[in-house]
Amino acid sequence: MHAHLTPQDVTTMFLALAALLGGAKLAGELVRKLDQPAVLGEIMAGIALGPTVLGSLAPGVYRTVFPDTGALSIVMDAVATIGVVLFLLTAGIEVDLTNVFRQGRSALLVSSFGVLFPFALGFATAGLFPRFLGAEPG
Amino acid at 133: L
Q: Identify the pLDDT of residue 94.
A: 81
Q: Identify the pLDDT of residue 109.
A: 85
Q: Identify the pLDDT of residue 110.
A: 86
- pLDDT under 70 in the chain at which residues? 1-3, 137-138
Distance CA 14, CA 53 (A): 21
Q: Identify the pLDDT of residue 55.
A: 92
Q: Identify the pLDDT of residue 138.
A: 59
Q: Identify the pLDDT of residue 33.
A: 96
Q: 37 phi and psi, to 5 degrees?
A: -65, 140
Distance CA 73, CA 81 (A): 12
Q: Identify the pLDDT of residue 14.
A: 93
Q: Identify the pLDDT of residue 137.
A: 62
